[in-house]
């Protein structure tokens, strides 16, 4: 009994005073990057999020305090002047975490912007819906963690290696599972979901909405309806956090099937990022008839 108590105490002291116990504070705007930072940093990082996934991004006072205390901000959303994110960063008065500083990491900078789809793809915030992008972001995020916290470099490198290993294995499974989906016509309910259809080789018939907050016109609906009547196997994609009336209307009118897709990870899952892609492919493969 005493021996085991002593070893426990020794273990506790090691945890308390080893460098790994001094966690680096990471603030992530989006839940997918919070999960990624946790997988890479393990015990060396302490990750906080706002839990606000809406595009409008209205941070509460708690958000200012969290950003002020952070060593690294990881945000893929818009950080241009006037955006909610930039206001949050400026108001938090953490100079090291402003865009351009080492303490600010935009996952979108890790994605090559080229080719015909490049222009729209760089504007599309949903880069995490292509697992190849997750791989790219993981690589450069590891590099940034090592730069900011060289004492724990070993932990980050080990975390990254383990992550890459699991991710490659999962990716080959997903690609095999999703092969029948290639060239399936889909109607997206929002303008910014290019990355998922690029990866899976889906054929988008054009989004229902061309701007996130503006409802579609009758003109657009009528055109999509005409296109959809030639493609009875097309799938209408309903995403979380988007109004569902238009997609439900189109699916009903054209007798199309609906796939209801999550737009990010569920942090309560065991391996949230891996579960996300299994869920996406599973729901796309089994769309619901209305």
Partner 1 sequence: MNFELLLLPSLAGLLVLLMIVPLGRIVVDQGIVFVDLAIAAVAGIGALAAQFAGYSDIWVLRAAATAAALLAGLLLAWCHGRFPASRQAAGGAVFALASAAGLLLLDQQPQADVHPFALLIGDLLWTTPQMLWPAAVVTLCVLTGLIAGQLRLAADSVAARLLFFLLLALAVNSAVQIAGVLLVFASLVLPALAVRGAGAAAGITLALLVGIAGFAGGLLGSLYIDLPAAGLIVACLGAAALLCGGLRALIAPSRDAAG
- If binding is defined by CB under 8 A, does position 230 make contact with partner 1? no
Query: Between residues 24 and 254, which has the closer beta carbon with respect to partner 1?
Result: 254
Kindly state whether residue 218 participates in binding partner 1, applying the rule CB under 8 A: yes
Looking at beta carbons only, is 25 or 244 nearer to partner 1? 244
DSSP 269: S
Q: What is the DSSP pairing of strand 185-188 with strand 203-204?
A: parallel
Q: Which residue has the tokens 């090559």?
A: 112
Identify how many contiguous H helices and E strands the chain contains and give both numbers.
Answer: 11, 8
Selected from 7, 18, 90, 245, the binder of partner 1 by CB under 8 A is 245
- Choosing from 117, 135, 171, 221, the residue that interacts with partner 1 (CB under 8 A) is 221
How many CB atoms within 10 Å of residue 64? Answer: 16
Smallest separation, CB 217 to partner 1 (Å)? 5
Residue window 181-210: x/- pattern of binding to partner 1, with contact defined by CB under 8 A? -----------------------------x
8 Å CB contact between 50 and 66? yes
Q: Report d(CA 208, CA 189) in Å as an integer.
A: 5
Name the residue with tokens 């439900």.
248
**Which residues touch 251 (CB under 8 Å, ≥6 apart)?**
236, 257, 258, 290
Site string (7-46) toward partner 1, x via CB under 8 A:
----------------------------------------
Least distance from partner 1 to the Cβ atom of residue 35, Å? 18
Three-state SS at 26: strand
DSSP state of 71: S
Confirm or reject binding of residue 157 to partner 1 (CB under 8 A).
no
Q: Does 231 bind partner 1 (CB under 8 A)?
A: no
Chain positions contacting partner 1, by CB under 8 A: 51, 210, 213-222, 225-226, 240-246, 248-249
């Amino acid at each position: 009994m005493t021996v085991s108590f002593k070893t426990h105490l020794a273990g506790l002291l090691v945890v308390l005073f080893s460098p790994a116990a001094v966690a680096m504070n990471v603030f992530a705007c989006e839940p997918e990057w919070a999960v990624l930072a946790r997988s890479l940093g393990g015990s060396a990082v302490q990750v906080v999020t706002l839990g606000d996934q809406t595009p409008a991004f209205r941070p509460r006072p708690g958000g200012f305090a969290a950003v002020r205390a952070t060593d690294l901000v990881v945000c893929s959303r818009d950080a241009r002047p006037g955006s909610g994110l930039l206001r949050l960063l400026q108001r938090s008065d953490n100079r090291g975490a402003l865009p351009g500083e080492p303490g600010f990491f935009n996952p979108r900078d890790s994605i090559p912007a080229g080719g015909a789809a490049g222009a729209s793809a760089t504007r599309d915030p949903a880069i995490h819906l292509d697992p190849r992008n997750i791989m790219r972001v993981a690589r450069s995020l590891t590099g940034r963690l090592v730069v900011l916290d060289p004492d724990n470099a070993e932990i980050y490198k080990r975390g990254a290696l383990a992550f890459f290993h699991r991710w490659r294995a999962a990716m080959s499974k997903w690609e095999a599972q999703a092969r029948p989906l290639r060239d399936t016509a889909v109607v997206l309910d929002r303008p910014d979901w290019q990355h998922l259809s690029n990866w899976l080789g889906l054929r988008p018939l054009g989004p229902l909405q061309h701007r996130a907050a503006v409802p579609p016109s009758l003109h657009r609906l009528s055109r999509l309806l005409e296109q959809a009547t030639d493609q009875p196997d097309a799938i209408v994609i309903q995403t979380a956090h988007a109004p569902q009336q238009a997609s439900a209307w189109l699916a009903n009118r054209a007798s199309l099937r609906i796939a209801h897709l999550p737009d990010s990870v569920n942090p309560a899952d065991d391996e949230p990022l891996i579960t996300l892609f299994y869920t996406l492919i599973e729901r796309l493969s089994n769309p619901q008839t209305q």
